[in-house]
Amino acid sequence: MPISTVFSQKERTLSFEFFPPKTDTGQVLLDNTISQLAHLGADFVSVTYGAGGSTREKTRDIVLSIQKKYGLKAMAHLTCVNASQAEIAELLDDYAEQGIANILALRGDPPAGEERFTPTDGGYAYASELLTAIKADQRFTTVCAAYPDGHPEAKSVEADWDQLIHKFNCGASAAITQCIFEVGPWKRMCEYVGASLDNPRIIPGILPVTDYHAVERFCNRCGAAVPEVMRTRLAHLADDPVAVRKEGMAFTIEMCAELLQAGAPGLHIYSLNKTTATAELVTALRLLGHLE
């Protein structure tokens, strides 16, 4: 079930992201979430790959179970961390045999405490190398990651966007952004990449905002400040969980509406394995006529 067919048929896609849980309780929560969100008619869903390659089997098993149980198109995230090229080739054989057709190809983060990424002996150094290998393999649709504010290790925002262009040229059918909290950087990135490529499909990654402190922590990790527009609207409510959730969701809905009006080729929602905020966001956007 390659998602390239959806990309060729639909101008806009709706997709959800899940992560492999660490506990049995987390697995039950994830099963419930998937079964409830499946009714929202996502075009595809994706399952992350734990830091350091720590969830290799779980990612694969969750993708297979989503495909089998719900008939949804599913995409496995895959990183270059802790894997040689030969090991990745083996994993691709297994994916193809099992019927996994879609891969979000990533480099992965350096291990905790290390600033730079060091490739495994005989491994890939960049996502673009992994994309090139998967493209040569011809059995998969690939997607890559994009950073509207630039990746933290890049020399400049533009240098990183040049690498995004390169990733499209190495075979990515689409890119999904890190979660964004303002429209401007995504628009500028699309203009920059669009000057070199014909209609690049850059899908905004959306984290429904229910907790301002969580957004602050996320931005800190990326070495970025919380965007001014969001700080002004939410910072003073940060310690009032009910008020911040209400205003945060209103903020998210407005931002998604603006993105779709600006021509975003869909939305990829970081569900955090929870149902309510994702369902609320999709329902509101449909009621307002911004999503089919």
Q: Which residues are catalytic?
A: 17
Decide whether 67 or 177 has the Cβ nearer to ligand FAD.
177
- The interface mask with ligand FAD, positions 8-47, x = CB under 6 A, is ----------------------------------------
Does residue 273 interact with ligand FAD by CB under 6 A?
Answer: no
Window contacting ligand FAD (CB under 6 A); options: 126-134, 232-240, 241-249, 280-288: 126-134
Does residue 76 interact with ligand FAD by CB under 6 A?
Answer: no
Does residue 83 interact with ligand FAD by CB under 6 A?
Answer: no
Does residue 132 interact with ligand FAD by CB under 6 A?
Answer: no
Does residue 142 interact with ligand FAD by CB under 6 A?
Answer: no
Residues 6+ apart with CB under 8 A from 31: none
Q: Which residue in 18, 44, 49, 140 binds ligand FAD (CB under 6 A)? A: 49
CA distances 279 to 40, 71, 110, 214, 249, Å, are 7, 19, 33, 20, 11
* Nearest-approach distance from CB 245 to ligand FAD, in angstroms: 24
CA-nearest of 218, 203, 248, 217 to 230 is 248
Does residue 58 interact with ligand FAD by CB under 6 A?
Answer: no
Contacting ligand FAD within 101-120 (CB under 6 A): 104, 106-109
The residues pairing with 44 across neighbouring beta strands, listed in sequence order, are: 15
CB count in 10 Å sphere of residue 40:
17
Q: What's the CA gap between 106 and 126, in Å, rounded? A: 8
Given a contact cutoff of 8 angstroms between Cβ atoms, the answer to whether 131 and 80 are in contact is: no
Does residue 201 interact with ligand FAD by CB under 6 A?
Answer: no
Decide whether 159 or 225 has the Cβ nearer to ligand FAD.
159
Encoded tokens for 285: 């956007």
What is the secondary structure of 221-282 as a DSSP string?
A: HTT-PPPHHHHHHHGGGTT-HHHHHHHHHHHHHHHHHHHHHTT--EEEEE-TT-SHHHHHHH
Does residue 126 interact with ligand FAD by CB under 6 A?
Answer: yes
CA distances 271 to 129, 248, 292, Å, are 29, 15, 19
Does residue 163 interact with ligand FAD by CB under 6 A?
Answer: yes
Determine the size of the site formed for ligand FAD (CB under 6 A). 24
Does residue 151 interact with ligand FAD by CB under 6 A?
Answer: yes
Q: Which residue in 29, 51, 224, 229 binds ligand FAD (CB under 6 A)? A: 51
Does residue 158 interact with ligand FAD by CB under 6 A?
Answer: no
Residues 6+ apart with CB under 8 A from 265: 11, 12, 13, 174, 201, 202, 203
Binding site for ligand FAD (CB under 6 A): 48-49, 51, 77, 79, 104, 106-109, 126-128, 145, 151, 153-154, 159-160, 163, 167, 176, 178, 205
